[in-house]
Amino acid sequence: MIGILDYGMGNLGSVQNACRFLDIAACVVTRPADLAPCRALILPGVGAFGDCMQHLTAHDFVAPVRDWIAAGRPFLGICLGLQLLFAASEESPGVPGLGVLPGRNRRLTPEPGLKVPQIGWNRVRPVRSDCPLFRGIPADTYFYFVHSYYADLTAAGAATAGITEYGRPYASALWQDNLLAVQFHPEKSQRWGLQMLRNFSTWASEQ
């Protein structure tokens, strides 16, 4: 069973529907006790960094999520679920993130021809050929993005598994031990996004 964390701010419906379409056993986790039967955890996120951290705290999920990752259990962060892994974000100064990864998220800068937020399809270039998320997925595949903040390559460091260009290169996929995260929405990215969710489920079963 894969748990999909419900802390009051997330794209639960689309993630759950994608899992159902792929015949992946998944359940919505609304309290820490619900994590017990889960073999893997998905942290989706939509909204502002500070608001999401406030909701995670109010639902008593901050320590359980940190403990889950520290215990080496399979984890996937989606969109803001990637950004929450860092220590901080320019979006919400003074608000600490989960702090699983050092550094902070930065704001995309509007440029000619590039609007903020980035909304739409963009390429992801895998930089680690062994990353389980990219099994069977062609390099430079397009995925669907909706975001204004990003993990820069310095903050992501060796955890960077995929890179996207939008005025600058940034880390659009992360992999560190049992932790995987993507800035885009695989559940909204059609064929290859669904393949990525299938890959996560398969990899989680292998652990």
Other Cβ atoms within 10 Å of 117 Cβ, number: 13
Q: Which strands sit side by side in the sheet containing 141-147, from one edge to the other?
A: 26-29, 2-5, 40-43, 75-78, 179-182, 169-176, 160-165, 118-126, 141-147
Supply the DSSP string of 48-84, one letter for each residue: -HHHHHHHHHHTT-HHHHHHHHHTT--EEEETHHHHT
Q: How far is CA 207 from CA 61, 74, 202, 203, in A?
A: 23, 8, 9, 7
**Which residues are catalytically annotated?**
79, 185, 187
Cα separation, 176 vs 118, whole angstroms: 26
List alpha helices for the chain, DSSP H: 12-21, 49-58, 62-70, 80-83, 153-156, 190-206
